[in-house]
Amino acid sequence: MGTKMMNAPIILLKEGSESHQGKSQVMSNISACQSVSEAVRTTLGPRGMDKLIVDSKGSVTISNDGATILKKLDIIHPSAKTLVDIARSQDDEVGDGTTSVVLLAAELLKQSKSFVEEGVHPQTIIKSFRKGRQLCINKINEISVKLSTDTLKSKRSLLEKCALTSLSSKLVSHQKEFFAKMVVDAVLQLDEHTLPLNMIGIKKIGGGGLEESLLVSGVAFKKTFSYAGFEMQPKAYKKPKIALLNVELELKAEKDNAEIRVDNVEEYQKIVDAEWDILYDKLKKIYESGAKVVLSKLPIGDVATQYFADRDLFCAGRVPEDDLKRTMRSCGGSILTTCYDLSDDNVLGTCDEFEELQIGGERFNVFKGCPNSKTVTIVLRGGAEQFMEETERSLHDAIMIVRRALKNDSIVAGGGAIEMELSKYLREYSRTIAGKEQLLISAMAKAFEIIPRQLCENAGFDATNILNKLRQKHSLNDGLWFGVDIINEDIANNFDACVWEPAVVKTNAIIAATEAACLILSVDETIKGPKSEMQQTAAANAMGM
């Protein structure tokens, strides 16, 4: 008689693993992403609010930069992390538009929610969204305006307007003209081929007003730790030679360095004298090289400081590495690890003017008029530390925008104008096709309206009324650049009002947002591994069990 096989259950995953799949999982992922967008929604635009975030260590951050807020929020939902990544990618690639990209991705998901509920396959939605994305990018390339930047003056005004648009939604918007000019000055002084960001140093000093911030065409860094004799050194030079070293000019205690057995005092004295001779030999070589300013990454001790003071030289030890490298790029010369090659002319840098200045409560070493002035330093003044940090983030966004506008001089109007035009374009296109794709492209068109709608809501305007006006204006084909007018609670031609953004900001935002939405829609199962015993114990302790 044949034995009947029992259907034993197949155990695939480790005990304690969680698995969620199907339509409900897609819906759950969409809801999580909408919650993330709620966190940054109110920061969009000139009237956007700021967020105050306190981390586990108690440090406070005040910001309205989407990428910064999402980075500080410790988001653990796997799908919602995708939005954090696209905000970061937008920040790294373009610098601005981080809130817009999160809002757009969340709105695309929101529009697709009803289709998923009705049983439309996510891959159908993804295919339509990707088609819509390509249509949008083609449209932006077609309508973006390439401004002639032959003359420096016209180039400057274009860059300043882009910087103004970026700064108008930041904490420092009341000083935006002052900072826009400073940012453009800074970027135009960089190497025009690479425009390296690390060649713009930003130093923050508490106290004073924002308008006391200044731009140094060259390098400025805080006075480092100094020894006796420092006060006797000159604090200003005209056309000095600058020695950049990675050498320690300090006496070491013999007992710490080596174990030497000596049987009389004369032998010990010889060892001590030898070290003094080595140090004095180094100092003599530096003095004979003709250098007037000596900077070293390593400490310069009190013997060396006094030696330089007696011979009218200025020295600073323990200079941070990035400041030393920026000085080398700016003033020329090389960073040496020995003092015996200083006779060669190429190893010493120079500048027109060196001075140690008092800025606020700090002393600063300032190098001006450098021969290869491909580096600048922005010295920020202001009240609270959090305020100055947010100012630095705002300037970073503006600097990135100006860099992008220099490389791609095609621009579009901001303030929701380009989004309304793309919305109208997609809506018209959807009427020319049949099937589900028509509905999905139309839904994508609706999603683009989130940007002007949110701008209105953040400013306290009647969003429905203004959006109706914008839809009408764009549908008449004479309102290409019409967007939200924040000042007069109306609509206006934002191109004429000089609310400009580089086209690359918008194309990058649309690509990133669509890809994120498609990625989240394509996930239909989440498997979480079991928690380790340590994690379970920690969770139990946290709950007070």
Active-site positions read 65, 98-99, 397
- DSSP-assigned beta bridge partners for residue 247: none
The full length of the chain comes to 545
Count of alpha carbons within 13 angstroms of residue 409, beta-carbon side: 13
Candidates 318, 295, 327; CA nearest to 308 is 295
Candidates 76, 52, 50, 80; CA nearest to 65 is 50
Gap between the Cα atoms of 284 and 142, Å rounded: 67
Q: Is 267 exposed, middle or buried (0-12, 13-18, 19+ CB in 10 A)?
A: exposed
Residue 490: which H helix or E strand, with range?
strand 490-493
Contacts of 434 (CB under 8 A, 6+ apart): none
DSSP state of 382: E
Gap between the Cα atoms of 429 and 91, Å rounded: 31
With b for 16 or more beta-carbon neighbours within 10 A and e for fewer, the 9-20 pattern comes to: eeeeeeeeeeee
**Residue 340: how many other CB atoms lie within 10 Å:** 9
With b for 16 or more beta-carbon neighbours within 10 A and e for fewer, the 142-175 pattern comes to: ebbeeeebeeeeebeebbbbbbbbbbbbbbbeeb
Contact status, residue 470 vs residue 452, Cβ threshold 8 Å: yes
Gap between the Cα atoms of 245 and 337, Å rounded: 6
Diameter over CA atoms, the chain? 111
Gap between the Cα atoms of 397 and 95, Å rounded: 5
